[in-house]
Amino acid sequence: MKNKSMELKNYWIVDCDRTLFGDVQIVDGKIANIIERKAQGTMGEGVLMPAFIDLHAHFREPGYTYKEDIESGSEAAAKGGYTHVTLMANTNPVCDNMEVLNIINNRNKEIGLIDINQCIAGTSGLMGDDYSHLEGLDSEKVKCISDDGKGVMNDKVMRSILNICNKKEWIFMSHAEDSSADNMRDAENNMTERDVQIAKEVDGRLHMCHVSTREAIDVIRSGKKNGVNVTCEVTPHHIMNPEGISDYRVNPPIRENQDVMEIIKGINDGTVDAIATDHAPHTLEDKKNGAPGISGIEFAFPICYSELVKSGKVTLNKLSELMSSNPAKILNLKKGKIKEGYDGDIAIVNLKKTQLIKEENIVSRGKNTPLLGREFYGVIEATIKNGEFIYRREK
């Protein structure tokens, strides 16, 4: 039988390691060949990048499908250039057992658009105390454990969960929020310091979600220097100038300019490993009632490209590292680079074109964003997964 192949000819090719002009051939879902050619014109309109990998999103299924479901979330992800998304466990029922996990995985197979890595809750029902369910999980189907939405308040429980994660070779994804703190800054900083210290004590594999304060960045920087096995992510909305969005309710909150500057410093010195969206779709009514969160997976690349690359803070290669190769390393995936043998997952981007964020153009059911009416450089023209188009922009 003839191999199924796709050829992408005469494109600029950018990943974390290199920038070149040429062709990419994908055979049977894998990148088979890269041919470098003499450059034609300046880079901008036709750029191939490794498809993006989101370490943190909410698709709300089961239980809250009026906000989002796996189908609408997958379509939004594909439009944003993503082919692999890690989902949090705060569904209804909570994803704290194999039955719920299998329901989500089977639903995703039915839709068949992107890859989903579903987190399992660290504590039963996200209640913060009982973690006995972890021992009965199928380790082949689980990669990540998280009580996202809450911090694990009890030190002994956190230590025990990290020990189980070590034994099972799982990653614990921490939502750093000390519910006993007087304010949201202390809440994040206290929990970050506590979690990094416990990870050091037990040699645990720790990933810090949506880091947003300068103090937390410094704690993680220090932990890495001292050999702690910790990685971290930041979100597109926490690397933006806070002017105009500071009052929008997200958790953790939009911080100050000093925090943004420290995050950028952390990106450049290697403290920050990844950019994750924390895509959190809500209805208009839920937002009016105070639900925290931004719907953002469709616009993550243009925001990050405009705020980081166009402004000269980082290179496009570095952005690819943050959105593709480092998330792939964290999850141990053969993705995130345009390299022979890697999965044929590619985003075709136009760096010269701008897009205006309009509610009617948002694919996600969640239209909740403070960025309506804002314009950003960087348009996803198409998304390819395993050598097949899963999204093409209407022209």
Residues acting as catalytic residues: 278
Residue 325 DSSP one-character state = I
What does the alpha-carbon distance between residue 15 and residue 239 come to, in Å, rounded to a whole number? Answer: 21
What does the alpha-carbon distance between residue 207 and residue 306 come to, in Å, rounded to a whole number? Answer: 26
Q: How many CB atoms lie within 10 A of CB 231?
A: 22
| CB within 8 Å of 34: residues ≥ 6 apart | 13, 20, 22, 23, 24, 25, 338, 339, 340
Report yes or no: 89 and 96 within 8 Å, Cβ to Cβ.
Answer: yes
Q: Which helix (H) or strand (E) holds 352?
A: strand 346-356
Report yes or no: 146 and 172 within 8 Å, Cβ to Cβ.
Answer: yes
Report yes or no: 296 and 57 within 8 Å, Cβ to Cβ.
Answer: no
Inter-CA distances, 373 with 27, 356, 357, Å: 41, 6, 6
Please give the full DSSP string across 249-272, using - where no structure is assigned.
--SSPP--HHHHHHHHHHHHTTS-
